[in-house]
């Protein structure tokens, strides 16, 4: 009887049985790395804006509170962008002819708002409220990073679901007194976990629904 398969066929079969799962595993690992990469999450990327606004200058240098420009952060779901007249409160007096502020002057003259490009944008299927997090004692810096060090605003965190869930599962270490939520440099000598647990009771944070799907996906 003639031999159907060559002597090398068994070796090739073994190689295929090893190579296919290995390639699949490598492919899955590469895909997982890709979706978590800065290229996809845009973490650390600065977006070009109509006006090169510097948080480093306005927050870090001048000490302007977040709520001066983001007026809705304590009372609405969205922090909001500052209207042109907020910018012109100062810039009608200083840097009045600066070329970089031409879009601001044009916006004031025409009544057309400046089209800022969102940096910390969540997907449409995510339900998120700024006011709820502010009331819970979650600081701006927790999600947005040290904006007082940013010449151009960039996304400080990846905003992945796992990152949000880590905080929802154990919020205590991330909480601070409400009066310090906009501070970029707040520190305390108290134990952060003990303080956080006290604030959870005081601010009514926690419960079994903190990690329930419907809390963020409605």
What pLDDT sits at residue 5? Answer: 60
Kindly provide the b/e burial profile for residues 195-208, where b requires at least 16 CB atoms within 10 angstroms of the residue's own CB: bbbebbeebebeee
Report the C-alpha gap between 110 and 106 in whole angstroms.
6
**CA 92 to mean position of chain CA atoms:** 32
Contact 131, 76 (CB under 8 A): yes
pLDDT digits (tens, 9 = 90+) for 87-114: 999 999 999 999 999 999 999 999 999 9
- Nearest Cα neighbor of 154 from 20, 42, 33, 18 is 42
pTM of the model: 0.78
Beta bridge partners of 179: none
Lookup: tokens for 173 = 């270490």
* CB-count exposure of residue 171 (10 Å: 0-12, 13-18, 19+): buried
DSSP codes of every residue in 181-211: TT-SS---SS-HHHHHHHHHHHTT---GGGG
- Nearest Cα neighbor of 49 from 107, 96, 95, 91 is 107
What are the average pLDDT values for consecutive 10-residue runs of the chain, which has 218 residues?
64 77 78 60 77 95 95 93 93 93 96 92 91 96 95 90 93 96 96 96 89 90
Mean pLDDT of the chain: 89
């Amino acid at each position: 009887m003639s031999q159907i398969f060559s002597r090398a066929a068994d070796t090739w079969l073994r190689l295929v049985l090893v190579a296919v799962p290995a390639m699949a595993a490598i492919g899955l690992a590469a895909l997982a790395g890709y979706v978590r990469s800065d290229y996809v999450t845009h973490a650390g990327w600065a977006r070009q804006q109509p006006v090169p606004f510097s948080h480093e200058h306005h927050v870090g240098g001048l000490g302007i509170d977040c709520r001066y420009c983001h007026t809705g952060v304590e009372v609405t779901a969205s922090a909001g962008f500052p209207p042109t007249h907020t910018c012109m409160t100062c810039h009608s007096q200083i840097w009045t002819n600066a070329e970089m502020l031409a879009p601001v002057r044009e916006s004031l003259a025409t009544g057309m708002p400046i089209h800022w490009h969102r940096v910390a944008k969540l997907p449409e299927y995510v339900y998120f409220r700024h006011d709820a997090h502010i009331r819970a004692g979650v600081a701006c810096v927790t999600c947005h990073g040290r904006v007082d060090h940013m010449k151009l605003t960039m996304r400080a965190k990846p905003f992945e679901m796992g990152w949000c869930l880590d905080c929802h599962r154990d919020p205590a270490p991330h909480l601070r007194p409400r009066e310090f939520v906009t501070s970029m440099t707040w520190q305390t000598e108290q134990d952060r976990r003990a303080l956080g647990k006290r604030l959870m009771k005081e601010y009514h944070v926690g419960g079994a629904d903190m990690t329930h799907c419907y809390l963020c996906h409605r």
